[in-house]
A = this chain, B = another copy of it.
Amino acid sequence: MTVNIDSEQLLTRLKVLGNTGREEGRLSRLAASEADKAGRDQLVTWLEEAGLEVHVDRIGNVFGVWNVPGDKAPLMMGSHIDTVINAGIFDGCYGVLSALSVIEAMRTAGVEPDRPLMVGAFTNEEGVRYAPDMMGSLVYAGGMDTDAALAVIGNDETVLGEELARIGYAGDMEPGSIVPSAFIEAHIEQGPVLEAENQLMGAVVNLQGISWQKVTIRGEANHAGTTPTHLRTDAGLAAAKVITFLRQLVENSDSVATVGTIRLGPNAINVIPDFAEFTVDLRDPDEATLKAREVALSEFLSELERQDGVSVQKKTLARFEPVTFDPEIVGIIEECAAARQLSCRRMTSGAGHDAQMMARICPTAMIFVPSRKGISHNPLEHTDDASLIAGAQVLLDTAMRIVAR
């Protein structure tokens, strides 16, 4: 049985939701804000129009459930609809609305699934207003206490629980009370790989582990004119060596390394820096490799201490192990794409997603669609209609395969 997505409806809804909560031309639907309430209200309207049961849990996650007889656990699909400040319209929303399109297409076509299907829209994936990010799915998967999450104070001094109650989305369902049989999240790539390789979509096999470190190097501040090269202990030069080393370390591998921030002291044009502090963002989809990169960095820093006379401290700011998605679902996604002759490549997710939390409690996978120039978290975020439709269609075909009797 072949069922097709209502692509026009999906594209229209993406635009409508993308304009919901927009103020002075900017889309900033921060978690539990008035704008988020408007987005949630629109989503709930569509869920109800599609004939789904709407549930809201205590952390504000919104679910639309198509109940069917039987005792199988539901297939859940979804993502989030909160956004960053001055966002694009696809990040998160694409996963929620394509999930809704999938369920509607199946209902319209008279499919009789072997288990319930549900759309999930998780609270506060972005983490802009309340930390940590991916909070709704983290709580749902049991990784954070619900009451602790509700008590989180935002960067605007508000309390998440109070804000959820204020906008009418403090539900009574216990987070995690429905454990899905599987979870699939469609999402924009937020990176440049699919566009660069001219692929319509990606089957995400894993999600990079992340190692964030802060490195502090101390040298000696001396006069830039009177201090000969051989008598210098230049903390800024040592930092530069680390930055170029990190690039050499990861070149031609799956790892990425980024030094995004740096600060020198005393930061004067004619004084040799005695202080350099910078961040290192190291990522790899394989835990053993990521550990090896961390060790290589440590060894290089020790070598700097010995050779350059600087002293080095480092501090772990964050550390997440890689997540491996369910190979069976990933295989189905690839087969479904191939069956429709839609180009698809296996790939790693470089960003964090709700799916990584859901992977703690059920078999999980993701479908990526291209992001033009890799741009995300920006009004310029764009995915071609053809890819948006192709990704949703493969999500539908994959769901059909999973719930076939």
For the complex, what is the distance from the CA of A257 to the CA of B374, rounded to whole Å? 38
For the complex, what is the distance from the CA of A307 to the CA of B1, rounded to whole Å? 53
Instruction: Using A251-B229, A261-B269 as known contacts, say yes or no to A351 and B240 having CB atoms under 8 A apart.
Output: no
For the complex, what is the distance from the CA of A258 to the CA of B349, rounded to whole Å? 40
Q: Which residue of B lies closest to A376 (CB)?
A: B223
A222 touches B374 (CB 8 A): yes
Contact-size category for A: 35 or more
Stretch from A98-106, A136-144, A191-199, A293-301 that touches the partner: A191-199
For the complex, what is the distance from the CA of A228 to the CA of B202, rounded to whole Å? 15
> For the complex, is A70 an interface residue (Cβ under 8 Å from B)?
no
| Chain multiplicity (copies) | 2
Stretch from A27-35, A163-171, A271-279 that touches the partner: A271-279
A196 touches B231 (CB 8 A): yes
Chain A residues engaging chain B, CB cutoff 8 angstroms: 189-193, 196, 208, 210, 212, 222-229, 231, 234, 236-237, 239-241, 243-244, 247, 250-253, 256-262, 264, 266-273, 279, 281, 283, 317, 349-352, 374, 376
12 A–B contacts, CB within 8 A, in A order? A191-B225, A192-B228, A193-B228, A224-B260, A225-B283, A226-B374, A231-B374, A237-B243, A258-B270, A260-B269, A261-B264, A261-B269
**Given pairs A239-B240, A240-B259, 19 additional interface contacts (CB within 8 A):** A191-B223, A191-B228, A192-B231, A210-B225, A223-B350, A225-B281, A225-B350, A225-B351, A226-B376, A227-B374, A229-B247, A229-B252, A229-B256, A234-B247, A236-B259, A241-B244, A258-B271, A262-B264, A269-B281
